[in-house]
Structure 1
Amino acid sequence: MNSTQKKRLGLIAGGLIICGAAAALVFNAFEENLVFFFSPSQVAAHEAPEGRAFRIGGFVQEGSVQRQKDGVTVRFEVTDTAHTVPVTYKGSLPDLFKEGKGVVAQGKLQNGVFVADQVLAKHDENYMPPEAEKAVQDAHKKARAMKE
């Protein structure tokens, strides 16, 4: 092998290493920003990651909304009719946020409480995110199966 071939081989190897490192960085960033959806039943079954961001969806439990004295913090519960998960949120809630209505919150589970950094309310009477609708239907099926 002459020196020209060695240089060419070195350049190709260096290029492959740089491309591999760039691909690894892109996939790592993608994985960190990927946010999964879980229902309250899945959270109760410990399927949701503790300390990592994800979304939880369902209905705002009737009578569960409590506004704290600081005027910014709100506590409420999200339910899929089978299980409920307590949620805390600091910030202003969407105008359509109401008890008994659909909601999706994004945040992290910490010591059994979902600490939300974003809360989304459904935008019309007929819409519910597909993941939340499926979770509620699954919870209803499980509840009926347990009664039988």
Structure 2
Amino acid sequence: MVLHPYLDDNSVLLIQIFCLNAIYVPDPSGQRAGKVISHPGQILELNTQSQLGWTAVPVFDSDYVRSGVHSAPLFQGSPSAEFLQSVISQPMKDVMAEVVLNNLLTVANTKKFVDTQANKRGQELSQLVLHCMDKKIRK
């Protein structure tokens, strides 16, 4: 969801993170996109229990779209109505400073989290998807 989808210092991209208990099944022919389906005997549904967290990032920096790789705090649950109202009328930096102290997701092992965050090794998601495909389909 974009709040203020026009050139404005208060334009914000609201990102909500959901979890689905699902399976990705690639197309056997490799010619079409695969399907995301529920586990056998379960219903695939997206509801309030599925929402893990949210964050928000400013869209513009002066007269330009903010592009590149961004880090943003992740908050548990859904954004409050007060936050949404505040972010429309105030700079993102000020609003985030108010909520960051109380709503950050808890981390059980802080040292492990910091080490993992600092270590940017590994493959991109697109490479992992390709790795799971048959050799003929990969090409």
| TM-score (normalised: structure 2) | 0.26
Question: Computing the radius of gyration over CA atoms, which structure comes out larger, 1 or 2?
Answer: 1
Q: Which structure is higher in strand share?
A: 1
Q: Which structure is higher in helix share?
A: 1
